[in-house]
């Protein structure tokens, strides 16, 4: 049982490049989320999903796309990277109910130059 | 919109003392409030959850209180150890069912 797995762990992109951050969970959780974490800003929600085929925007969705074709996977796409997207990205998953804990991946440190 | 505020200043305490971290929230009354621990370079890890009708919850050296009138939760670590040094995050599910976080408070326990 690996929990939530994110890849890659580190990435450097040039402005304008595209890439996909991968996230997979093996806990059969319906709910999955992407956050970015910047110094002094805490964790801010980018996108989330309540099940396969269903996604919704969070607090800071601009510049990011997501899709959820399976319960296990929730990739985050940067179509045209900008320096403002330099951050640490975390994927999380949880079960149903507002009394459930979230499980986080190890994070992806992304630098856009 | 719902907002969570934690003391952004780092908390420095001596080993063996009790650390107290504060979480204040506005514009919403969550039914549950959660606390997470985050170590440098790692993802947050769940510690404790407290319900709105619970005044206090304990787990080993950890204690959480939840005052729905003050809209505040306090997180205590008793007999603190250097291994407790980390950033601690307060969180709850907002009205839309999304898990939102405070900015976290960094705790440093000196031997």
pLDDT score at A12:
98
pLDDT above 90 for B95: no
Interface of A with B in 43-82 (CB under 8 A): 43, 45, 48, 50, 58-59
What tokens appear for A79 in the block? 């179509």
B103 touches chain A (CB under 8 A): yes
Q: Across the interface, which of A42, A98, A106 has its CB nearest the CB of B93?
A: A98
Q: What are phi and psi of A101, to 5 degrees?
A: -85, 155
Query: Facing residues of A91 across strands?
Result: A34
pLDDT digits (tens, 9 = 90+) for B62-79: 999 999 999 999 999 999
- Domains, chain B, ordered by start: 3-110 (2.60.40.10)
* Cβ-nearest to B101 among A43, A98, A107: A43
Choosing among B28, B43, B100, which should be mutated to test the A contact, i.e. which has the most A CBs within 10 A? B43
pLDDT of residue B96: 84
Asked whether the predicted pLDDT for residue B90 surpasses 80, the reply is yes
**For residues A18 and B32, what is the distance between their CA atoms, to the nearest angstrom?**
38
DSSP-assigned beta bridge partners for residue A51: A54
């Amino acid at each position: 049982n690996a929990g939530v797995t994110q890849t890659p762990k580190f990435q450097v992109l040039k402005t304008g490049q595209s890439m996909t951050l991968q996230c997979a969970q093996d806990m059969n959780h319906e709910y999955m989320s992407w956050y970015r974490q910047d110094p002094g800003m805490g964790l801010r929600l980018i996108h989330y999903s309540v099940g396969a085929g269903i996604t919704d925007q969070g607090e800071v969705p601009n510049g990011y796309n997501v899709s959820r074709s399976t319960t296990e996977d929730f990739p985050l796409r940067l179509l045209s990277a900008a320096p403002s997207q330099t951050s640490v990205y975390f994927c999380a998953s949880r079960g149903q109910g507002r009394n459930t804990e979230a499980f986080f991946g190890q994070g992806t440190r992304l630098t856009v130059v | 919109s719902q907002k969570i505020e934690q003391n952004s200043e780092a908390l420095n305490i001596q080993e063996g003392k009790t650390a107290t971290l504060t979480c204040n929230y506005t514009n919403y009354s969550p039914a549950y409030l959660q606390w997470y621990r985050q170590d440098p370079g790692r993802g947050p890890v769940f510690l404790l959850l407290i319900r709105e009708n619970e005044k206090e919850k304990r787990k080993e050296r950890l204690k959480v209180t939840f005052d729905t009138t003050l809209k505040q939760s306090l997180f205590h670590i008793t007999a603190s150890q250097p291994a407790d040094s980390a950033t601690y995050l307060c969180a709850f599910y907002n009205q839309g069912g999304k898990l939102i976080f405070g900015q976290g408070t960094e705790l440093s326990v000196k031997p």
